[in-house]
């Protein structure tokens, strides 16, 4: 690592990598995070948490993205958001993006460039190298390993000073395909355990949401959280419901972010085909997801693609709800031996229907007895304060290495 100071030109501001042994590490902590947008997604939520931790530690937190709903959260924690897409193609586009990043690094005295998606990794690494910064990459999923593009992405990871995996499942995937050596660290994302706390959800909030959704009293509720998107398994759940049409229940598909209108129409037509249109609610744009979880008798996670962290599952665990999910190494890692979780083969509608039925058959007393176990798992594994502290330790460790060199 080159620890020579990076000059600011005529501005004459403090160098990024001071060689002064008495300089406080927090004064040298400047983290630039790069991601496509600040939509309601795992990477964006993690970016907010890390930015808040950097700001609280006395550092400079900057995020570059195309904007989105979570920008407000970012600004409230004391971070700076720079609205840039960084999607220019061709030699000129790559040069322009490189210039944008190096200018931001100078302006905000950045010492660590942190990338969260593979598509930005090469650009971020080049800018970090040019400015004498550390380069850190977080892997939020199991990325493709075949083909020239995947090989180039692996080469960039191999050059990172630290690689963060959001789960042990992702870490095993990376270790199997890329030369990670000792630079790989597992830091699971955290969730807001104060927000997702069943004791904090009042009866009034649940009643208000149930009335907003016009849910009838009595029938149990099956909730599939998340925006309407083909990868989230909404169609699979409707097909499973068709196998349970003799049971009195309602299915709610709701997330904080609005989904595709066209896809919503497809789901409505599919429900009509099975005679389920009066028992299906599409509730996009829900602003009180904790209350939604508390209204649910069963939470379904039917995503079969290669996600690195199932935030919905962690939130459902924190709320003490029964969970039915597609089986995968990741889900087995997250739920462990949870006695309120059913894991079924992906795309198996009959198995999904049977698991939902079994979860609905739990008595109120059984759910009440088992809920503390699930809540304890979430509080132990997905405390965002612990996750943020782990990231700060990694950042300060890199700066300490530079200072000692």
CATH number of the domain that residue 400 is part of: 3.40.50.2000
Give the confidence band of 146 by pLDDT, cuts at 50, 70, 90: low
Average pLDDT over residues 241-264: 89
* Per-residue model confidence as pLDDT tens digits over 298-320: 999 999 876 789 999 999 999 99
Give the confidence band of 152 by pLDDT, cuts at 50, 70, 90: low
Residues 367 and 392 in one domain: no
Residue 4 covered by a domain: no
Which range, of 123-137, 150-164, 183-197, 377-391, averages the lowest pLDDT?
A: 150-164
pTM of the model: 0.87
Residues 236 and 354 in one domain: yes
Give the confidence band of 24 by pLDDT, cuts at 50, 70, 90: low
Residues 368 and 390 in one domain: no
Average pLDDT over residues 321-343: 93
Asked if residue 1 has pLDDT above 50, the reply is: no
Average pLDDT over residues 129-144: 90
Residues 395 and 375 in one domain: no
* Per-residue model confidence as pLDDT tens digits over 354-389: 999 999 999 999 999 999 999 999 999 999 999 999
Which region holds residue 78: left if phi is over 0, alpha if psi is between -120 and 50, else beta? left
Amino acid 305: pLDDT: 78
Determine the Cα–Cα distance for residues 204 and 186; give it in Å rounded to an integer: 39
Residue 2 covered by a domain: no
Residues 203 and 186 in one domain: no
Residues 259 and 325 in one domain: yes
Average pLDDT over residues 31-52: 94
Asked if residue 158 has pLDDT above 80, the reply is: no
Residues 245 and 232 in one domain: yes
Determine the Cα–Cα distance for residues 188 and 167; give it in Å rounded to an integer: 5
Give the confidence band of 91 by pLDDT, cuts at 50, 70, 90: confident
Residues 165 and 263 in one domain: no
Residues 350 and 391 in one domain: no
Amino acid 290: pLDDT: 97
Give the confidence band of 244 by pLDDT, cuts at 50, 70, 90: very high
Residues 34 and 174 in one domain: yes
Give the confidence band of 22 by pLDDT, cuts at 50, 70, 90: very low
Q: Give residue 62's domain range.
A: 9-190+384-404
Residues 206 and 124 in one domain: no
In the chain the first and final C-alpha atoms are separated, in Å, by 8
CA quadruple 203, 206, 208, 209: dihedral, nearest 10: 180
Q: For all residues of the chain together, what is the average pLDDT?
A: 88
For 142, residues 6+ apart whose C-beta sits below 8 A from its C-beta are: 169, 170, 173, 306, 308
* Per-residue model confidence as pLDDT tens digits over 221-234: 999 999 898 989 99
Residues 226 and 176 in one domain: no
Amino acid 144: pLDDT: 66
Number of domains making up the chain: 2
Average pLDDT over residues 130-141: 94
Give the confidence band of 154 by pLDDT, cuts at 50, 70, 90: low
Phi/psi at 25 (nearest 5 deg)?
A: -60, -35
Residue with tokens 């530690």: 57
Asked if residue 20 has pLDDT above 70, the reply is: no
Residue 1 covered by a domain: no
């Amino acid at each position: 690592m080159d620890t020579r100071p990076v000059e600011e030109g005529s501005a004459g501001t403090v160098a990024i990598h001071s060689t002064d042994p008495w300089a406080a590490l927090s004064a040298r902590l400047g983290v630039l995070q790069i991601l496509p947008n600040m939509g309601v997604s795992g990477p964006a939520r993690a970016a907010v948490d890390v930015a808040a931790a950097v700001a609280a530690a006395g550092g400079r937190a900057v995020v570059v993205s195309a904007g989105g709903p979570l920008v407000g959260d970012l600004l409230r924690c004391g971070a700076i958001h720079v609205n840039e897409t960084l999607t220019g193609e061709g030699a000129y586009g790559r040069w322009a993006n490189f210039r944008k990043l190096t200018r931001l690094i100078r302006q905000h005295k950045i010492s660590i460039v942190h990338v969260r998606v593979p598509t930005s990794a090469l650009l971020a690494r080049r800018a970090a190298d040019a400015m004498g910064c550390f380069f850190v990459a977080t892997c939020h999923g199991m990325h493709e390993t075949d083909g020239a593009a995947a090989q180039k992405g692996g080469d960039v990871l191999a050059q990172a000073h630290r690689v963060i995996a959001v789960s042990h499942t992702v870490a095993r995937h990376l270790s199997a395909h890329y030369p990670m050596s000792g630079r790989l660290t597992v830091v699971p994302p955290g969730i807001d355990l104060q927000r997702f706390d069943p004791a904090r959800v009042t009866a009034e909030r649940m009643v208000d949401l149930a009335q907003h959704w016009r849910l009838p009293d009595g029938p149990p509720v099956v909730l599939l959280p998340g925006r309407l998107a083909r990868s989230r398994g909404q169609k699979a759940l409707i097909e499973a419901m068709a196998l349970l049409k003799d049971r009195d229940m309602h299915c709610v598909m709701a997330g904080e972010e609005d989904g595709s209108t066209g896809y919503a129409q497809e789901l409505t037509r599919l429900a009509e085909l099975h005679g389920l249109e009066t028992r299906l609610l599409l509730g996009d744009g829900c602003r009180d997801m904790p209350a939604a979880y508390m209204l649910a008798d069963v939470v379904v996670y039917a995503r079969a693609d290669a996600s690195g962290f199932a935030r919905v599952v962690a939130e459902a665990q924190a709320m003490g709800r029964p969970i039915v999910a597609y089986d995968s190494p990741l889900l087995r890692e997250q739920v462990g031996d949870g006695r309120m979780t059913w894991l079924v083969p992906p795309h198996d509608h009959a198995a999904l229907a049977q698991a939902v039925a079994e979860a609905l058959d739990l008595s109120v007393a059984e759910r009440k007895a088992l809920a503390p176990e699930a809540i304890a798992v979430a509080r132990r594994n997905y405390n965002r304060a612990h996750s943020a502290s782990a990231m700060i330790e990694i950042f300060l460790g890199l700066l300490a290495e530079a200072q000692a060199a």
